[in-house]
């Protein structure tokens, strides 16, 4: 067991520091990968886990201008260590978020919805009526893609793995605004053509699986379309038929939210615009918190175990 619950002293508040009482923090796949050491970011040990969450400002150092007590904050970058009840952080490591959105929405805002938002915005200029295809559609990012696309009039074709409770999953994704839901096996079937009688073929594919499902998804892209890979849950490479490159000139790109943040440190405007749009969607009920299970901090072991089970449809969120 790599994990222990420990009591630590809260450090003294420096002039540029912010004392934060954490409210809620999810367990994401990348958090687990960081702990396993299979992620490109390694924290110096001993470290506090968790890269995402929301907290309330208790006190600020005398040179802090952008934040005040009672404000809500989320991490500005990866590696903050959010699985704790309190912390003292430099001001620049925090982003203010409105406190009129549900606490679980704020706790899950900085990773999945941002990833979904950027991938929909940055690779193809999509217009209402266009379509997008994605695998792992029931993941946190997948659920956000469905809702953000829906709000912009973009149709989604959502690929999920076949499973015992498939009808229940289909119902849940439809309720979020999914237009089509297909299993990986259906991607190879002639019935796929029926979908494209009513909507155009996608110009954008979002992949976080790899292996066969990805190759099959690629076949449905429009010529000159883009496939963006942001994860590899099947732990298999992306295989592309040569013909897709030559005759359809498909583009393969990658996306990593952590890198995007690094590249946009100076560009506060783009960052603020994205957060603003997402918070508006949340307020209008167009972007819901992902299906989740709330777990008190002392039950963290059960939460970690649950988050690593196959076919998880619920995100574990630690209540702090």
Strands (E) in the chain, as ranges, are 17-26, 54-60, 72-75, 86-90, 94-97, 131-134, 155-160, 180-183, 204-207, 226-229, 251-254, 292-296, 315-319
Q: Is 39 a catalytic residue?
A: yes
CA-wise closest residue to 54 among 4, 115, 100, 118: 100
Under a CB-based contact definition with an 8 Å cutoff, are residues 242 and 218 in contact? no
What end-to-end distance do the CA atoms of the chain give, in Å?
Answer: 21
Q: What tokens appear for 182 in the block?
A: 């297909």
* Per-residue CA distances from 229 to 134, 149, 159, 161, 237 (Å): 10, 18, 15, 18, 11
Under a CB-based contact definition with an 8 Å cutoff, are residues 149 and 119 in contact? no
Distance, in Å, from the CA atom of 220 to the CA atom of 166, rounded to the nearest integer, reads 23
* Per-residue CA distances from 136 to 57, 181, 271 (Å): 35, 11, 26
* Per-residue CA distances from 275 to 68, 110, 199, 245, 268 (Å): 19, 9, 30, 36, 11
Distance, in Å, from the CA atom of 86 to the CA atom of 72, rounded to the nearest integer, reads 13
Find the catalytic residue in 39, 180, 230, 300: 39
Under a CB-based contact definition with an 8 Å cutoff, are residues 170 and 158 in contact? no
Residue entry with tokens 């015992």: 164
Active-site positions read: 39
């Amino acid at each position: 067991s790599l994990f222990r619950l420990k009591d630590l002293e809260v450090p003294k508040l420096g002039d540029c520091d912010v004392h934060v009482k954490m409210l809620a923090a999810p367990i994401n796949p990348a958090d687990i990968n960081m702990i396993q050491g299979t992620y490109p970011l390694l924290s110096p040990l001993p470290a506090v886990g968790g890269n995402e969450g929301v907290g309330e400002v208790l006190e600020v150092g005398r040179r802090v201008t952008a934040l005040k007590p009672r404000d809500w904050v989320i991490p500005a970058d990866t590696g903050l260590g959010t699985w704790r009840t309190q912390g003292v952080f430099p001001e620049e490591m925090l982003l203010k978020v409105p406190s009129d959105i549900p606490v679980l929405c704020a706790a899950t805002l900085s990773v999945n919805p941002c990833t979904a938002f950027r991938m929909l915005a940055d690779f193809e200029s999509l217009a209402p009526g266009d379509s997008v295809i994605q695998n792992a559609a029931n993941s946190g990012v997948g659920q956000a893609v469905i809702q953000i696309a829906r709000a912009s009039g973009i149709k989604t074709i959502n690929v999920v793995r076949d499973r015992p409770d498939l009808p229940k999953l289909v119902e849940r994704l439809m309720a979020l605004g999914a237009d089509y839901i297909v299993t990986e096996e259906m991607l190879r079937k002639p019935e796929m053509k029926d979908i494209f009688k009513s909507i155009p073929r996608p110009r954008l594919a979002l992949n976080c699986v790899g292996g066969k499902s990805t190759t099959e998804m690629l076949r449905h892209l429009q010529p000159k379309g883009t496939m963006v890979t942001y994860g590899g849950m099947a732990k298999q490479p992306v295989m592309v038929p040569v013909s897709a490159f030559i005759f359809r000139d498909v583009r393969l790109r990658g996306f990593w939210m952590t890198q995007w943040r690094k590249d946009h440190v100076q560009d506060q405007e783009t960052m603020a615009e994205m957060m603003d749009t997402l918070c508006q969607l949340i307020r209008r009920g167009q972007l819901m918190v992902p299906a989740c299970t709330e777990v008190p901090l002392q039950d963290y072991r059960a939460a970690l175990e649950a988050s690593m089970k196959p076919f998880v449809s619920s995100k574990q969120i630690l209540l702090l």
